[in-house]
């Protein structure tokens, strides 16, 4: 049965079966159910690197991509090379239709200060929609405890924003769970995490957290009424 025709009750039952499953079990289910029309998006956070570690054992041929906005940290792109060397997984770079120089010239300067939502839409949402075209399901690495938006997500369900199934294997893990796994399994990770950056996005919109900031995403879009780029919010109006 095509995923888009499944009812709310169908997804509720799927989530009931998988809600207490381990991430590798969820990934095996995803591969068995959707591969080869299964893809994964990663920003090379520790969660994404864990999923790559697991996929390397389960099915390393799953197509994995990174939304290269043109504003990523050099350390993030260097991690892509280390992932390839460690697991043999070449993460595809999916870029916007314009380079950063072209984009900023078109808008008479960068948009990330005054119009961050528009910047995220143009350089993340639109490229992601193109990247998942033709696939039945995509894997993300969000955790429920990261934000209010993500707390509303399911382990698996229909993603109306992008028109395919979304699978969140690490949804029920905590920050502590993630780093315990990284350390125990020697999973490669971004060195910026050791420099006060618990959450890493584009460099203009990311800073290290300061003493007293307990929210791991406190360094994202500082001073703006914004906590998400839009990829994982449940609002489909940005399409």
How do residues 76-115 score in pLDDT, each as one tens digit?
999 999 999 999 999 999 999 999 999 999 999 999 988 9
What's the domain count of the chain?
A: 1
User: What is the per-residue pLDDT for 3?
Assistant: 62
In a domain, 123, yes or no: yes
Which parts are annotated binding residues for [4Fe-4S] cluster?
Answer: 119-120, 202, 205
Reported as half-sphere exposure (CB side, CA atoms, 13 A), residue 44 has a value of 31
Report the b/e string of 196-216 with b at 16+ CB within 10 A: ebbbbbbbebbeebeeeeeeb
Does any domain span residue 214? no
Other beta carbons within 10 Å of 218: 17
pLDDT, the chain, mean: 89
- Asked whether residue 234 is domain-assigned, the answer is no
CATH number of the domain bearing residue 72: 3.40.50.620
In a domain, 211, yes or no: no
In a domain, 239, yes or no: no
Q: Calculate what percentage of the chain has a pLDDT beyond 70.
A: 88
Annotated binding-site residue numbers: 119-120, 202, 205
Within 13 Å of residue 160, how many CA atoms lie on the same side as its CB? 10
pLDDT at 195: 94
What's the pLDDT at 232?
Answer: 52
**Listing from the earlier edge strand, what are the strands of the sheet with 156-159?**
92-95, 63-68, 38-41, 137-139, 164-167, 156-159
Q: Is residue 130 part of a domain?
A: yes
Looking at the annotation, which residues are catalytic? 229
Predicted confidence at residue 68, as pLDDT, reads 97
CA distance 143 to 78: 24
Whether 159 contacts 128, CB under 8 Å = no
Counting as low any pLDDT under 50, the low residues of the chain are: 1, 234-239
* 194 within a domain of the structure (yes/no): yes
Cβ-contact 93, 122 below 8 angstroms: no
Going by C-beta distance under 8 Å and a sequence separation of 6 or more, which residues neighbour residue 11? 154, 156, 157, 158
Range of the domain at 102: 3-205
Q: What percent of the chain has pLDDT over 90?
A: 69
**pTM over 0.85, yes/no:** yes
Tokens of 183: 């350390």
The closest of 65, 55, 63 to 86, measured between CA atoms, is: 55
């Amino acid at each position: 049965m095509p995923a888009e025709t499944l009812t709310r009750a169908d997804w509720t039952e799927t989530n009931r079966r998988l809600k207490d499953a381990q991430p590798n079990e969820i990934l095996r289910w995803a591969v068995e159910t959707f591969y080869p029309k299964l893809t994964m998006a990663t920003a090379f956070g520790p969660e994404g690197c864990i999923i790559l570690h697991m996929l390397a054992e389960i099915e390393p041929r799953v197509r994995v991509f990174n939304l290269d906005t043109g504003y990523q940290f050099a350390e993030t792109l260097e991690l892509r090379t280390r992932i390839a060397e460690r697991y043999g997984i070449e993460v595809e770079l999916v870029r916007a239709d314009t380079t950063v120089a072209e984009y900023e010239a078109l808008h008479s300067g960068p948009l990330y200060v005054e119009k961050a939502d528009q910047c995220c839409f143009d350089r993340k949402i639109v490229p992601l929609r193109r990247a998942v075209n033709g696939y039945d399901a995509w894997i993300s690495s969000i955790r429920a405890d990261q934000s209010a938006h993500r707390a509303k997500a399911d382990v698996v369900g229909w993603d109306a924003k992008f028109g395919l199934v979304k699978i969140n294997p690490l949804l029920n893990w905590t920050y502590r769970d993630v780093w315990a796994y990284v350390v125990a399994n020697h999973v490669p990770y971004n060195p910026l995490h050791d420099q006060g950056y618990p959450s890493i996005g584009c460099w203009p919109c990311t800073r290290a957290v300061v003493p007293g900031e307990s929210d791991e995403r406190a360094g994202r879009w500082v001073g703006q009424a914004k906590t998400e780029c839009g990829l994982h919010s449940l609002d489909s109006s940005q399409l």
